[in-house]
A and B are shown apart, each in its own frame.
Chain A
Amino acid sequence: MTVDLNLVGAKGAIAEAAEGKWGMSIDQDICTGCQACVAACAMENNISFVGEEDAGYGRSQHWIRIERFWEGAYPEVKATPFQPMLCQQCGHAPCEPVCPVFATPHSEAEQLNLQVYNRCVGTRYCANNCPYQVRSFNWRDYHTIPERGNMVNGTLVFPLHNQFNPDVTVRRRGVMEKCTFCIQRIHKAQDKAKSEGREVEDGEFTTACAQACPANAITFGRVDHPESLVSQLTHQKRGEKHLEELNTLPRVTYLKEG
């Protein structure tokens, strides 16, 4: 089945598969809430460390977060499964049409939502319109806060800069960012496969969060290939997508109560 997204004008009409190309499944029944995915994502994608105070005020920039909820009132509290939340790479994304400068276009090739950092002017409309609240804004140049550097021979040195991933841009203040499904890894795997004259195999590479998950709760791959692991998991009966009623066509499936 194809869906006509019919975004006329400068974007051209994009018709893409309802299930998309790249997808993810997250098994909430085996997620332990250990936050390894959050840490791995931060390392892989050069995400800023905003510090305790700002994170407490709602300025943490993690592209994936572990949401925890409780059911019931105080004495009879029952914890519900952890819910990792990240960009759902919607096929029909509410964030895309509202950007005045096309900084968040849709990739026809990868069928993902892109964020063009150097085009973003920081109106933050996309983040307001995101029903999943997974976009994070660079409120400040957190990488170069002077108090966090060391003074060596009269120049400020930031030791943490040594662990930056060279494949990923370091974002400056005033731009929006969000989960990219580790598009740098996708491209690397595709380049390798192309040079060897073959297709990318299922399980050949994965995103940083899926790689770090000790319980193997996160699975990433091609959802449009019926034999891939992620599509088999996705098509289980216990799979559900968040806020599907908004017609966003999310690409992340949550598995629960199997």
Chain B
Amino acid sequence: MAVASKYLPGAKQAHDTHHEEEDHKQYLMFDPKPRGEMNAMVMESMHTTSWKFWVVFGILSVIVAVCFFYAWGYMIAEGLWVAGVMRPSYWGIFLVNTVFWIGISHAGTFISAILRVFKAEFRRPFTRAAELMTTFGLIQAGASIFMHMGRVWLSYWMFPLPNERQLWPNFHSPLMWDLLAITTYVLGSTMYLFLPLIPDLAMARDRSTGWRKTFYKILALGFRGTEGEWRHLITAMNFFAFAIIPVMFSVHTIVSWDFAMAMRPGWSSTVYGPYFVLGALHSGMGAVAVVLFIMRTTMKHMDYFIRKEHFDALGKLMLMVTFAYTYFFFNDYIVQWYGGDVATDNLLHWLEEGPMAWMFFQMVAFNIIIPPLLLWSKKIRQTPWLLALIGIMINVGMYWERYIIIPVTLSINRMPFTWKLFEPRMDVFLTIGTFSMFLLFYMLASRLIPLIPVWEVQEGQMAHSLRKVGKAHVPTLSDFE
């Protein structure tokens, strides 16, 4: 174990020893608790379930049953007639939801994998919450794709299954690339969620009884915490952290190609790949802020793990992503406008002065103008509810963005006779259904899985220490790997 210490520039130096310690206590890494106590705190946060939880849980279950399962069944039986899709908007809200949920799922992996690779210390307490968002978001994205299909009961025809008629899927189609990319992402991100979970599951196994014990015993795969097991686990996690980053970039690029490869004004734009990736990170960061805020306010002991410093760091990250997103947004729209193609000109006029202009300008305000005006302030970044509110605002803006890209852009094409504005119909219920299902899964997970990666926090606290240099205490970080 090579120990190299480095100076942490983020922490303030004060010469008064007493104040100094107080000062450092506000950082989770310099406020260690004994292992047993921390484990007990996380276990307690999982077990303490108030009646309010069950009320919300019940309401969400009913919404999922009605708006997701019943509504989808009805739509399968009746045909897509019950949704808002028509000529020329052959694609509607279902694909808006797909792109939105894949976007949400991006931040999970981004925060977890990229920050792990770059060893950003503030990631430690909330990687798990972000990774769960990836997995649950992808479930909703997948469901939305299947909702969108006209004959969903034949969707297995898109899988390359050998058959006696030698029928094969068409790998020229961007939809096939999409299917493969999303499948890879689901599998990769689920494994990436599972690997860092193993030590925590083992911890939970050692501290529970009854059916929970059996549950954790199966999932922990017999992890005992020996040196060899840790070494294998760390290697595997490094593998996945590096491997999942290119997969994450490719997935949203391929999702954008569903649009960019088509010959539609407004869609065939070469900058769509990075634009969509940044859009996904933009909405995903916002969603992480919302999830952290909800966790911190509703679950027990979470205010120890999730602190102002984490909201502050997340706010900075959101600010950077906002700037990057802004760059690609103008790169997309201004270049298209400059091109001067008649059909594109019609489309841009429709966006800025058509019936959906309010949505377009709200999108610009929510995604580009307002976030940098607020996020520069440290006070705002460190106020959890404000940051969560900004997160919700960005997500509304990003939902509008996808809505504009799909049904609103489709309203305008090269055949002016067919121009028509999309009206949402039963798709609204199914949208509510997917949102409720996401929340429901999250609530269930919060009762079954330790939402805080305890071992990662403990590892971080062990690595951080105050060293005495002359008279001053200098915060340092030891690198264990």
Contact = CB atoms under 8 A, between A and B. Distances in A.
Contacts of A98: 172-175, 261-262
Nearest to A141: B79
Contacts of B88: 58, 133
Contacts of A140: 78-81
Interface stretch (A20-28, A99-107, A161-169, A222-230): A99-107
A74 interface: no
A251 interface: no
A133 B173 contact: no
A85 interface: yes
A258 B420 CA distance: 33
Given A128-B410, A133-B413, A246-B263, A59 B81 contact: yes
B304 interface: no
Contacts of B296: none
A122 interface: yes
B85 A101 contact: no
Given A59-B81, A94-B263, A173-B79, A131 B174 contact: no
A124 B174 CA distance: 13
A121 B158 contact: yes
A67 B414 CA distance: 13
A136 B151 contact: no
A139 B78 CA distance: 9
Contacts of B90: 124, 127-128, 137
B158 A100 contact: yes
A129 interface: yes
Contacts of A246: 263
B168 A10 contact: yes
Contact of B151 (A128, A139, A174, A243): A174
Nearest to B89: A58
Given A85-B417, A128-B410, A174 B150 contact: yes
B423 interface: yes
A128 B258 CA distance: 11
A125 B149 CA distance: 10
Interface string A30-44: 000000000000000
A69 B416 contact: yes
Contacts, number: 143
Contact of B413 (A83, A102, A131, A137): A131
Interface in A56-112: 57-60, 65, 67-69, 83, 85, 94, 97-102
B150 A175 contact: yes
A139 B170 contact: no
A159 interface: no
Given A121-B154, A138-B150, A9 B171 contact: yes
Contact of A124 (B78, B150, B415, B420): B150
B151 A102 contact: no
B85 A139 contact: yes
Contacts of A141: 79
Contacts of A125: 173-175, 258, 262
Contact of A120 (B89, B151, B261, B262): B151
A139 B81 contact: yes
A141 B151 CA distance: 12
A236 to B, nearest CB: 24
A122 B172 CA distance: 17
Interface of A: 7, 9-10, 54, 57-60, 65, 67-69, 83, 85, 94, 97-102, 119-125, 127-129, 131-133, 136-141, 173-176, 243, 246
Per CB-CB distance, the 3 closest pairs between chain A and chain B, nearest first, are A122-B150, A174-B150, A173-B79
Interface of B: 78-81, 85-91, 148-152, 154-155, 157-158, 167-176, 179, 258, 261-264, 410, 413-418, 420, 423
